[in-house]
Structure 1
Amino acid sequence: MLRWIKSYLHNRRARVAVDGLKGKKVLLRHRVPQGGMLSPTLFLVFINDLIETLPNGIHAALYADDLVMWCTEEHATTATCRMQLAIDNLVAWAEDWNVSINREKSSTTLFILSPKQKAGTIKQDGTSLKTEEEVTYLGVTYDKKQTWRPHIQKAEGKTRRKISIMRKLAGTTWGANENILKRVYEVRPHLEYGSPAWSTAAKSHLQGLDKVQNQALRVITGAMSSTPIKTMEETVGLQPLSDRRDAKIMVQAEKYKAYPTTPCTTSWKVSQRTG
C-alpha cells in the first residue's frame, strides 16, 4: 500500500493546455493532487500531528487546513501568553514540514465581557496578527461579546436578497406560482445554520429572522398584510423558525449524550448535579 501511494505522489508532472497548445511539463514537488479521491485523507495524515505540538491548555479544531485555537483564562494577559506560545509552536511545525501559514487570513479575537481587560498583541514571526471584534469559522460568526448579532445580520441579508428575487418572479396575473416560489425560498438553511450554537441570542435578535421568513410567506402566498402569520405558515407548510430551532437543539443534545466525553456533555452533567 505504501509503495502504491508513493508511486501515486512521486514524480508527478503537470502542464497547461490552451486551445490545443501545450506548455512544458513541470515537476510538482509539493501538495497532493487537487480533486483526487485520496487527497483529503493523505492531507489529514500529513497534518494530523500538528495538534500534538500545541502546549497544555490550548484547545484546537482542525477542518482540513482551517485551524482555530483557543484557551480559557481568568486574565487576558495569561491567555495572550499562552496563545503566543501556541503560535510559536505552530510556526516551528510549519517550518519543519515546509508549510506556509497565511498571515493575511490569520487573526485573533478576545472574547470577554469586562471592558477593563484588553486584548494583547500576538505575533507570528515577529509580525503582529490583526485583532478583530468578530471572527467567522465554518460559516458561523462569533463576536467578542457573544451576542450573535453579526451572524444573524448576515443570515438576514442573504435571505432578503433571495426574497427580492422572489418578488420579481411573483405577480398577480403572471409569474411563478406558489409551489415554484416555495421552492425558490428553500434557502432557509441560511436562517438556521449553526442554530444550536447561537440559539442563546437575545429574543430581539432572533425575531429579526422571524420577520424575514414572514416576508417570504407573504410573497409566496400573495396574502394581504393583515393575514395572520399562523394562517400563512399552515397554507405553505412551513414551521415557525423557533420550533425548528428547538427541534435542532434536541437533536444536538441527543448526539452529545451519545458521546459522553465531549466538553458539552461534561458541562451538561455538571449543571444537572448542581441543579
Structure 2
Amino acid sequence: MVKFIMETLSDSFILQTSSGQCCRLRRLKNGVPQGSVLSPMLFNVPSNVPSNIHDLPDTASRKYGYADDLAIMLSRPTWKAMEEGLNEDMGTLVAYLRRWRLQLSVGKTVAAAYHLSTREARRELEVRVDNKCLEVQQAPKYLGVRLDRTLSFKQHLEEVKAKVTSRVALIRRLAGTTWGASAKTLRISTQALVFSAAEYCAQSGAEALMRERSTWLSIPPSEK
C-alpha cells in the first residue's frame, strides 16, 4: 500500500495525443490528477476493515455515503428535537474521524431541512461542529443531485435541462447538411455529452417529471 501511494504521488507524467500528433512528455507538479481514486481509497481503508472498531459509530441518524461523501438524515417531530439529535450525531462522527486521523471539511459541510410547511420555509437549522455553525442551504447538491425543500426535484430538472441544452448546442455546431463530423462521431459525442447528463440519476426526477407533465396536460386550451 505504501509503495502504491508513493508511486502515485511521485514521478507522474502526462502525454496528450490529438489527430495522431503527440505533445512532449510533461511532468505533473500538482499531485494526483483530478478524479483520482487515491483519496476515496485512503478514506475507505479504515472504514472497510472487517472490525466493529473501524465501522462508523451508531447514531440516531441514518447514514449514507459514496466514497468520501457522507450524509446523515434524521426525522423528528419538532425543530428542537431535530437540532439536538443532529448536534449529538455530528459530535459522535467528528470524534470518530479524529480517532482515525481524519478531518471533517467544515467549509463543505451543510445542513438542510426537508418539509412541506410553507410557513417555515425560511427557518434554518442550527447545527454546530466545534462551536462553528454549519452553513444552511435551502437546496444543497449531493452527488450531483439538487435536493430542494419539498423534494420535488424541480430545481434539479431545470439544471439538467440547462446543461443538456448547452451540450446539444455544441453537438449542433458539429453537424451540417454538407459539412461537419461523421454520423458515428456525432452519435458517440451525443452519448458521451448529452445522454450521460440527461440519464444521470434520472429515476429520482421521474416522478417529478410525471407531475409536471400532468400539470401541462391539465391546462385548459386558450380561448380563440
Fold conserved between structures, TM > 0.5: yes
Who is 1:69 aligned against? Answer: 72
2:153·2:204 contact (CA, 8 Å) conserved in 1?
no
Q: What is the rounded CA distance, in whole Å, between the counterparts of 2:209 and 2:4 in structure 1?
A: 52
Who is 2:206 aligned against? Answer: 199
1:152·1:206 contact (CA, 8 Å) conserved in 2?
no
Where do residues 1-275 of structure 1 align in structure 2 (5 Å cutoff)? 40=41, 43-48=43-48, 52-56=56-60, 58-117=61-120, 118-186=123-191, 187-203=194-210, 205=212
Unaligned runs of 5+ in 1: 22-33, 208-275
Q: What is the rounded CA distance, in whole Å, between the counterparts of 1:90 and 1:153 in structure 2?
A: 34
Give the superposed CA RMSD.
3.5
Unaligned runs of 5+ in 2: 14-24, 28-35, 215-224
Count of matched residue pairs: 186
Please tell me the residue identity of whatever aligns with 2:202. Answer: S
Q: Secondary structure at the match of 2:140?
A: strand
1:112·1:145 contact (CA, 8 Å) conserved in 2?
yes
Deviation at 1:93, TM superposition (A): 1.4
CA change 1:206–1:177 in 2 (3 A) is: farther
Q: Secondary structure at the match of 1:153?
A: helix
Q: What is the rounded CA distance, in whole Å, between the counterparts of 1:206 and 1:153 in structure 2?
A: 14
The alignment's TM-score, normalised by the length of structure 2, stands at 0.69
CA change 1:11–1:62 in 2 (3 A) is: same
Who is 1:245 aligned against? Answer: none
2:127·2:133 contact (CA, 8 Å) conserved in 1?
yes
Q: Secondary structure at the match of 1:144?
A: coil
2:139·2:147 contact (CA, 8 Å) conserved in 1?
yes
Who is 1:249 aligned against? Answer: none
Deviation at 1:168, TM superposition (A): 1.3
Of structures 1 and 2, the larger Rg is shown by: 1
Please tell me the residue identity of whatever aligns with 2:133. Answer: S
Deviation at 1:55, TM superposition (A): 2.2
1:136·1:142 contact (CA, 8 Å) conserved in 2?
yes
The alignment's TM-score, normalised by the length of structure 1, stands at 0.57
Please tell me the residue identity of whatever aligns with 1:159. Answer: V
1:159·1:191 contact (CA, 8 Å) conserved in 2?
yes
Deviation at 1:94, TM superposition (A): 2.1
Deviation at 1:60, TM superposition (A): 0.4
1:111·1:145 contact (CA, 8 Å) conserved in 2?
yes
Please tell me the residue identity of whatever aligns with 1:146. Answer: L
Deviation at 1:150, TM superposition (A): 1.6
Q: What is the rounded CA distance, in whole Å, between the counterparts of 2:74 and 2:3 in structure 1?
A: 40
* Post-superposition CA distance 1:76-122 (Å, at most 9, x none): 32222111111111121122222111111100010011134433210
1:59·1:69 contact (CA, 8 Å) conserved in 2?
yes
* Post-superposition CA distance 1:129-161 (Å, at most 9, x none): 000011222222211111211211221122112
Q: Secondary structure at the match of 2:65?
A: strand
